[in-house]
Structure 1
Amino acid sequence: MNTPTASIRPAHRDSVLRVDCDGQTLVGLLSEPVVAASDIGVLLIVGGPQYRVGSHRQFTLLGRALAGAGVPCLRLDYRGMGDAQGDQRDFAQVDADIAAAIDAWQREHPSLKRVVLWGLCDAASAALLYVHRRRDPRVAGLCLANPWVRTATSLARAQVKHYYLDRLRQPAFWRKLLSGRVGLGAVRELLGKLAQSRAPAHAGSPSAAAGSSGAAGSSSAARLADTRHYTEQMADGLRAFGGPVLLILSGDDVCAREFQDRCRDGGPVWQGLLSRPGLRREDLPDADHTFSTAAWRAHVERLTADFVRGVPAAA
């Protein structure tokens, strides 16, 4: 006689949330705990060019892991990405998309009072630009993974400091150079990177957009008219944000290296940001940019769930 086994109850449920943003439809996937509605959730902003599933399904798995831990998570395709309507845009132009997603989520689930913005790479940058421009009181915390501060100069500096200088210290490199096995092209590349690394910090930025054409809401006119480089706006967002921040940095990632270099050498606007009150830094020494192994992914899931559960309730 077979002994009946207990049924396995799902830890989460998934549903589609459609979001109207300036007359265009965005698509979000909402993962929720099966029991116990929470007043706080994670809005996972997806950087581009990418959509809500993420590399090696990392965002799908993160959203479901959070829901299984009792934290609802909305993964959003902003305009021009994935299944969303509209023209493709970059991370500096998605303020309206983020605000519209929070609006729609609260309409569907009135119990939701607070939101933590979670972003990897340029999505982390988008989160900082959003809190700088909007000062949205619904945003209670930030999870920032390997934030993007890329310029041609910052990339060259990171490569020179963390790659080329290491090679120059290796006896094998000099043996290859003297034996002719390192070509002149490689030497010219090194000299070019050295020259590029001495350029002004903002040289060759792929995006220095001042803001989103749809930005509105609680932003002041001064913030809407902010024409400074996007990295300076990010720094102001991080400095002025009143809630807790989780900063996750990978050890094997040039974007993380650039961010650390920017915090150290980026001028007065960046000084002291890594030691600001309320910022918790977590380093994953061996992890790559997207936390591509099961162990790294699980580590990020645990860090995020623990962080969100610790975000203080609104006063």
Structure 2
Amino acid sequence: MRQHFTFACAGETLAATLDGADGSTGLLIVSGGNEIRSGAHAGMAALAASVAAAGHPVLRYDRRGIGDSTGENAGFESSSEDIAAAARAFRERCPQLTRLLAFGNCDAASALALFGPAADVNALILANMWTIESDTVDEADEDAAASTITASAIRSRYLAKLKDPRELWRLASGGVNIGKLVRGLKQATAKTEVTGLVARLGEALATLDRPATLLVAEHDRTAMWFLEHWASDAFAKAHANPHLSLHRLNSGSHSFASAADKAWLKERILAELRT
């Protein structure tokens, strides 16, 4: 049964939706970006309903300044109190809960990595974790868009071009913009930058003392950046953390939009809830 209610957070009122079930292991869904709790194309609402049908209660909520909640939207790095308040409200609404998992996609995954342990959450499911300090890409501008492509993706693209006789002919006949080629080669050989956010996430995952399942739609741009950083020194200690597991999906959908992607995500979440 679906219920709508509100709870308090730092002097503000947050709106929430509970899909009820009798199970003692519940799922807290944290919305990413500026999405409302129903998710893109109501994807999180559908996920909540299907997980609840499998016997696990699910709580979704709008953080401060988003959707039906009051207050100022200060971004995911200011959401620690929202996550903690939601976890408390969930346990109060469902007193049978003995274990609470939290799921987030994109910057919600990053927020959970940083703040989930302090919110009395027993395990984390982190999808397509956001590791970029800012995103100023104008997708209509090819050069600007290319600047956000990971170095490994650029290397793969140039390797494919070098294997294509038509591309080699274009290069030999002057049909290639040399300036763009030089910029691309510089990006392809660039070392992945370890920014402040990446360093914090690396430290958070390295010291995590509870299970965390990392999910990546490996052709999604945000996930590609995560994988680039995951292979860097910033996450070297996290690789040794026995509480972490990484699962890849052959997809480019950031929101797990296709039926097959949705089914994969649901099964991964249910597997963790059953553990």
Task: Give the TM-score range, shorter chain.
Answer: 0.7 to 0.9
* 1:120 CA displacement: 0.7
Counterparts of 1:94-105 in structure 2 under 5 Å? 94-105=79-90
1:256 aligns with 2:217: no
Q: Which of 115, 121, 125 is residue 139 of structure 1 equivalent to?
A: 121
- Give the RMSD, CA atoms, in angstroms: 2.6
Matched-pair contact (CA < 8 Å) for 1:131–1:241? no
Q: TM-score, normalised by structure 1?
A: 0.74
Task: Give the whole-Å Cα distance in 1 for the aligned partners of 2:257 and 2:107.
Answer: 18
1:284 aligns with 2:249: yes
* 1:126 CA displacement: 0.4
Q: TM-score, normalised by structure 2?
A: 0.84
* 1:231 CA displacement: 2.1
Matched-pair contact (CA < 8 Å) for 1:77–1:83? yes
* 1:57 CA displacement: 2.3
State the identity as a percent: 28
AA matched with 2:43: Q
* 1:162 CA displacement: 4.4
Give 3-state SS (helix, strand or coil) of 1:307's partner: helix
* 1:275 CA displacement: 4.8
Return 5+ residue gaps in structure 2 as ranges.
135-146
Partner of 2:273: 308
Matched-pair contact (CA < 8 Å) for 1:158–1:254? no
Partner of 2:100: 115
* 1:244 CA displacement: 1.6
Give 3-state SS (helix, strand or coil) of 1:271's partner: helix
Partner of 2:130: 148
Task: Give the whole-Å Cα distance in 1 for the aligned partners of 2:247 and 2:208.
Answer: 19
Task: Give the whole-Å Cα distance in 2 for the aligned partners of 1:165 and 1:83.
Answer: 49
Aligned residues: 263
AA matched with 2:101: V
Q: 1:261 to 1:200 in 2, by over 3 A?
A: closer
In terms of mean alpha carbon deviation, does 62-71 or 14-23 score higher? 14-23
Q: Which of 52, 70, 73 is residue 67 of structure 1 equivalent to?
A: 52
* 1:23 CA displacement: 1.6
* 1:43 CA displacement: 0.9
Partner of 1:235: 202
| Runs of 4+, deviation exceeding 6 Å | none
